[in-house]
Amino acid sequence: MTTAGIDFRDLAPGFADPVLESQRSFRLVLQAMAEPGRRVPLAPDLDPPAPLLPTTAAVALALVDYDTPVWLGGAAHGVADWLRFHTGCPVVDDPGHAAFAIALGDWPALDALAAGTDAYPDRSATLIAQVETLSASGLHLTGPGIDGARDFGVAPMPDDFLAAWKANTKLFPRGVDLILCDGNQVAALPRTCTVGQAE
Amino acid sequence: MTARTHDDETAANPRAAWMGTLAKARPAELEDRWARLCSDLTEIPDWQRLRGPETGMVMVRGRAGGDGSPFNLGEMTVTRCTVRLKDGAVGHAYVAGRDGRHAELAAAVDALMQNRQRAEAAMTAVVRPLAEAQATRRDLAARQANATKVEFFTLVRGED
């Protein structure tokens, strides 16, 4: 756990109106979770430290607080400082101890994250992955929240993602939920969503 | 038990001392001192809010007798603020109550105190007069309380 002091010299501000803007971001994440694969536009007024994008930053500010240990992948020190200052979250080294895993580069293995228990499936982790583009082609989604099927695309996507996601859905009611952010939109794949390759 | 005096605290951690003075100042006094400081400085300080002012609760913990095991005394309302001046100096303030302006001004003065050139002006115009006003008030309250002090004593009974 990182407990070192925060470097304030280049620290960026968070939401100008934390209550309203967190609620707005939360509402959009809720929308994205309820309709898996739907790309919800999100344009927060934030200037977070690189490589964190404003969209990912807004999702993190809305969801993370002092009760949720966060694992940060591919992040510069400034990102951890910024997040700790504005949310009070502990930053952990082991992805298995995190309530939220924020992947700014390579994703952690899905099975390395907490999947919850059968009695408490809510004790699972949520992976917030920042990607270059979310699109409507490449993947074929079915499951609750989708009327029929929906086409969806993530780039770049880890090579073993489809197999790992299939293993994740088999754990139900346990499992990891996934929130994806690109430069201006957010989408989510809850653990109930079945992901296949589009024909 | 030896009470730590205000001077001890100032020597041990001057920043904690002036942050405490600013937090405990009356808002109107701080506002007045701030206006005087602004008239002394060549340029009126400008800052960016990094966080807050925002109001929340903190759990105040106490120790029985000052050295017993800690217990939760109760929650209190606290407003905090963090600001950064144009020159990069960052100031923090945690103030009892809900007065956001008080927290923001206290944070701004704390930030000014980080800069050696401005620290002396801020100390003279704001922190020292506030500390003196607080010491006067504390002293007055102590003397008023002392005037009503009752000395208890036990009468020795005859059979011993």
CB-based contact (8 Å) between A65 and chain B? no
Do residues A47 and A54 make contact, with C-beta atoms less than 8 angstroms apart?
Answer: yes
Do residues A81 and A11 make contact, with C-beta atoms less than 8 angstroms apart?
Answer: yes
Which amino acid, one-letter code, is at A144? P
Contacts of A85 in chain B (CB under 8 A): 50-51, 82
Contacts of B48 in chain A (CB under 8 A): 13
Residue of chain B whose alpha carbon sits nearest to that of A85? B51
How many whole angstroms from its chain centre is CA B112? 16
Cis bond upstream, residue B53 (ω within 30): yes
CB-based contact (8 Å) between B68 and chain A? no
Does residue B8 surpass a pLDDT of 70? no
Instruction: Give the count of Cβ contacts less than 8 A between chain A and B.
Output: 21
Read off the pLDDT of each residue in A73-92 and give the average, rounded to a whole number: 89
Predicted local distance difference test score (pLDDT) of residue A4: 58
Task: Kindly state the tokens that stand for B123.
Answer: 């100390």
Task: Kindly state the tokens that stand for B19.
Answer: 């942050």
Question: What share of chain A in percent tops pLDDT 90?
Answer: 85
- Picking from B51, B59, B87 by the largest number of A CB atoms within 10 A of its own CB, the best residue to mutate is B51
Does residue B1 surpass a pLDDT of 50? no
ipTM, interface predicted TM-score of the complex: 0.75
What secondary structure letter does DSSP report for A172? T
Do residues B104 and B79 make contact, with C-beta atoms less than 8 angstroms apart?
Answer: no
Does residue A62 surpass a pLDDT of 80? yes
Read off the pLDDT of each residue in A161-183 and give the average, rounded to a whole number: 95
A31, exposed or middle or buried, with CB in 10 Å at 0-12, 13-18, 19+? middle
Q: What is the 3-state secondary structure (H, E, C) of chain B?
A: CCCCCHHHHHHHCHHHHHHHHHHHCCHHHHHHHHHHHHHHCCCCCCEEEEEEEEEEEEEEEEEHHHCCCEEEEEEEEEEEEEEEECCCCEEEEEEECCCHHHHHHHHHHHHHCCCHHHHHHHHHHHHHHHHHHHHHHHHHHHHHHHHCCCCCCCCCCCCC
